Structure 1
Amino acid sequence: MATNIVYLRMKKKITVVPLAKIVLKDVALLTTNVPEKEEIENIQLYHLKKEDNEYVVIDSFIIIKYLNQLFKDVEFQLIGLTETIIQVKEKNKKRSILFICLVWLILFIGTAMTIMNFHYDVSMQEVQQKLHYILTGERTHSPLWIQIPYSLGLGIGMILFLNHWFKTKINEEPSPLEVEIYNYQKKIDDYISYYENDLNDEHKHI
């Protein structure tokens, strides 16, 4: 029976460049006092190929099976996740200012059209005119003292809702948008883990 124990905790997801060599410490965290720790951490598990898809999944069962073959006197115990998703991605290229401005302009126009169409549907201008008449007893086509603070409030409300001012977060609480993005990414990862486990075939392993 093995007297030395190595605890493994698989990472949920990592991103690497094409044709990268994957070693154990890339996909798992190790804790142990065995002298072979550094050697174990740097064991190559897989070498990405040109034919590999954008996602590759490494299963902990195959890793432990391989490690048991190499280290007979060491016991490997898994803690937490059972697999790691490897995303193959080219290095990020610097976005051009022109591209950023174009995207910003499209989003700005789309958002403005959405807000204006909503206000038209609910007859917002008529509501503000009636509110002005109730408060002042006078009729006017453009009650600016209501419309201007209302417009500023829309912008401030969106900043508070998204919890961001450019790259700065207002507080540590995640915004509803960040929560939705997280849930969306989690569903994608679950789908990939279920359908794209390319390393489950024995001939593709180590």
Structure 2
Amino acid sequence: MATPVYIRLRQSIRVSSGHVIRVRDVAKVAGPSSYKQIIESMAIHNIEEKDKNIVVIDIHPLIELILKRFPHLELEIIGPNQCVVHVDKKLAKKPSLIIVSVIWVLLFIGAAMAIMNFHYDVSMEMVQQKLHFMLTGEKEEHPLWIQVPYSIGLGLGMILFFNHWFRKKFNEEPNPMEVEVFKYQEDLDHYVAINENKVEQDEDR
């Protein structure tokens, strides 16, 4: 009777340039320890300059590699059939403080303009003036007792909504930005796995 070995590919991983990708990097292996250690140490692909920043490891070359060494094993594949490898290139130097500051200022101004244009579109100033008149019976062009707390509350609400204060998180729940980035990364990995399987393309040549 064939010995079963279970393999579950990771959806994506990150490695540094020049890294030798082994089975343990891209997959979880379950089975007899005598086979597991050898399988996990098998080299699959060596990251080179031609790989650029993304490599796709497909399950089929992995199966062939293992069966070539252990033809009597029964492999059970669980989960995805490709693992997307993101190659982190070594940066020559840290980003310039001036460039980071300029980008931060541009983002700050853009966000401020977006908030102000929204308030202008919904006539927020007029709404606050009417609210002041309803509560006090007096007309006031700048009801600061409403506008100031509203402005402070708007900032606090954004902090709570994004669940971040600089690098500090208030709880373990992901914020909306992290969810959107995760969905984008998931779609990107799915696209790359289908259209840019470089390892498999090299083997077909």
Q: TM-score under structure 2 normalisation?
A: 0.89
CA distance in 2, matches of 1:5, 1:198: 29
Please list every run of 5 or more consecutive structure 1 residues that lacks an aligned counterpart in the other structure. Answer: none
Deviations 1:15-55 (CA, angstroms, capped at 9, x unpaired): 11223211111111112224143222111111122212321
CA contact (8 A) 2:53 2:89 kept: no
1:103 maps onto 2:98 in alignment:
no
The match for 1:180 is 180
Give the distance between the partners of 1:18 and 1:145, measured in 2 at CA.
58
Residue aligning to 1:141: 141
Structure 1 residue matching 2:18: 3-state secondary structure: coil
Say how many residue pairs are matched: 204
Native 8 Å contact 1:5 1:34 kept in 2: no
1:15 aligns to 2:17 (yes or no):
no
- The 1:71/1:202 distance shift into structure 2, 3 A limit, reads farther
| 1:173-192 alpha-carbon deviations (Å, 9 max, x no partner) | 32222222221111111110
What is the rounded CA distance, in whole Å, between the counterparts of 2:147 and 2:56 in structure 1?
54
C-alpha displacement of 1:160 = 1.8
Change (3 A) 1:25 1:204: farther
Letter in 1 for 2:74: E
1:115 aligns with 2:111: no
Measured in 1, the distance between the counterparts of 2:190 and 2:34 equals: 36
The CA RMSD over aligned residues, in Å, is 2.1
Q: How do residues 154-169 of structure 1 correspond to structure 2 at under 5 angstroms?
A: 154-169=154-169
Q: Please show how residues 4-153 of structure 1 align to structure 2 within 5 Å.
A: 4-91=3-90, 94-153=94-153
TM-score by length of 1: 0.89
Instruction: Report % sequence identity.
Output: 45
Distance in 2 (CA, whole Å) between partners of 1:84 and 1:195 is 13
Larger mean Cα displacement after TM superposition, 130-139 or 55-64: 130-139
| 8 Å contact kept, 2:56–2:198 | yes
- How far is 1:112 from its partner? 0.9
**How far did 1:111 drift?**
0.9
